[in-house]
Amino acid sequence: MNDHSTSIPIQIKNHDNPYIKNTPVSAPDTLYAIGKSLDRAVKSAGNMFTQFNPIARHIRDFGLEQCFRRDFGVIPGEKLMKGHPCCLSSTGGPIQGTLYVSNKRVGFISEDPMLASLGCGPVQWVYYKVVIRVDCIQTVKSMDNRQGRGMDEKYIEIITRDGYEFWFMGFKDSYDLAFENLFNAIRLCNN
């Protein structure tokens, strides 16, 4: 995946969206984020695959289920289907992270903390997080965007019952599985 993160503060304009639950970052994580931004600036010409990825390491060490529970809490009877690395489309550009699909919720959390202005408060580091109950999803669409340059980008669009739209893109090898998991979660919820 391309490195789309930025250390320039962004204004999160849809702070009234009930599905976005930004999580402030602790002091040690803030220092880590600053160090990572500086490191990224120094290594901007380097190979991205050699850069340290804390999310991938945490998933490897502790498992996908534990990462999901840590980031989104626990709902009785909830079972995680799968996690899919991807990007969430936002007004400030794509946000790298992981899309989690369970039988009760769909969750996305950014890979790295972002420096954000949340309305009239101070600028702070936050993990960008989206949480949608499966029973609040009206539609899941598979979109294929061919741009005439040989570029084939597949998107998954989630539309909630109250009209909010979320676009996920940049899936490596898991696009079809992510779409299938979302479709199955909605089907199970409606039965």
Packing angle, helices 54-62 and 64-72, rounded to 10: 110
Q: Quick check: is 138 in a domain?
A: yes
CATH code, 93: 2.30.29.30
Q: Quick check: is 1 in a domain?
A: no
Q: State the residue range of the domain holding 129.
A: 10-190
Helical residues (DSSP H) of the chain, grouped into ranges: 27-42, 54-62, 64-72, 175-190
Instruction: Give the model's pLDDT for residue 169.
Output: 93
Q: Quick check: is 2 in a domain?
A: no
Q: Quick check: is 5 in a domain?
A: no
Q: Quick check: is 156 in a domain?
A: yes
Instruction: Give the model's pLDDT for residue 86.
Output: 93
109 forms bridges with which residues in the sheet? 98, 129
Q: What angle do CA 55, 141, 126 make, to 5 degrees?
A: 30
Asked whether 108 and 90 are in contact (CB, 8 A), the reply is no
Q: Quick check: is 121 in a domain?
A: yes
| pLDDT tens sequence for the chain (191 residues) | 444 444 444 445 545 666 666 666 655 555 555 555 555 544 443 434 334 455 555 556 567 788 888 889 989 999 999 999 999 998 888 999 999 999 999 999 998 888 777 666 777 788 889 999 999 999 999 888 755 444 457 899 999 999 999 999 998 778 999 999 999 999 988 77
Instruction: Give the model's pLDDT for residue 9.
Output: 44
Q: What region, left, alpha or beta, does residue 73 occupy, with left being phi > 0 and alpha being psi -120 to 50 degrees?
A: left
Number of domains in the chain: 1
Q: Quick check: is 172 in a domain?
A: yes
Q: Quick check: is 57 in a domain?
A: yes
